[in-house]
Copies of this chain bind each other. A is one copy, B any other.
């Protein structure tokens, strides 16, 4: 069980990863960096999500703490031996990676074909969906209408493939149009869910059905 402060690197891009594990609290970002410094976040890991690369010394992605985090860590080789001994466990890992692949492809659609406002709306809806599953102890009225964005504008931009300025403008605009309300930079209320869905460019189906929001994720970082 280890803790990291926001901003710390858990696994570097080229580094040999010696451990892997599960997020207990906080948020991890899985990201790739280009030679000139441009960064793209390719996954966010919430509590209960798995991080780390099995069966490979290194993956091309870095895993960093987006907030203060506590992780439950295992030694990689020991975990791999466990997997070899337990086909059932490996099967479950397999299914998780398949889901993660779906999520990655969903995100490719977002990055390749959606406008920035659509991406922001999608992000809100996905976050809303995931976090309401994770925190089921809130009063249901409140829960249905509020979104907590657990990361900075900078990370949001790196995740959505845009810039902080554009993110800011889009959010303010959605608020001005009465689609959402801004309680604080990280807390929002959804005033018009129907319209938010329409803004996202997605159908009820692909948001509600199978997407990033559905299950705990594998990082395989």
User: Which residues of A pack against B, CB within 8 Å?
Assistant: 30, 32, 34-36, 38-40, 42-43, 53-56, 59-61, 87, 90-91, 93-95, 97-98, 100-102, 104-109, 111-114, 160-161, 201-203, 206, 209-211, 220
Is B101 a contact of A101 with CB atoms below 8 Å?
Answer: yes
Q: Give CA–CA (A146, B211) in the complex, Å.
A: 39
**Once bound together, how far apart are the Cα atoms of A203 and B34, in whole Å?**
8
Task: Give the interface SS of chain A, mostly helix, strand, loop or mixed.
Answer: mixed
Say yes or no: B104 contacts A101, CB within 8 Å.
yes
Q: For A60, give its contact among B38, B43, B55, B206 (CB under 8 Å).
A: B206
Inter-chain CA distance A112–B110, complex, in Å, is 9
Task: Given A87-B90, A101-B220, answer yes or no on A109-B34 (Cβ-Cβ < 8 Å).
Answer: yes
B109→A201 contact, CB < 8 A: no
CB <8 Å contact, B94 and A93: yes
Output the residue of A34, A38, A94, A108 with the most chain B CB within 10 A. A108
A75 CB to closest chain B CB (Å) equals 19
A59-B210, A94-B97 known, 5 other contacts, Cβ within 8 Å: A38-B113, A55-B94, A60-B106, A61-B105, A107-B108
Complex Cα spacing A160 to B112, Å:
7
CB-CB under 8 A from A54, the residues of chain B are 98
Most chain B CB neighbours (cut-off 10 Å) among A61, A109, A206: A109
Interchain CA distance A210-B112 in the complex, whole Å: 22
Give the chain B neighbours of A100 by CB distance below 8 A. Answer: 101
Could you list 5 A-B pairs, sorted by A, with CB under 8 Å? A34-B109, A97-B101, A101-B220, A107-B108, A108-B108
Partner of A113, one of B40, B56, B94: B40
- Check A112 against B113 for contact (C-beta < 8 Å): no
A53 / chain B contacts, CB cutoff of 8 Å: 98
Q: Give every chain B residue within 8 A of A111 (Cβ-Cβ).
A: 108, 111-112, 161
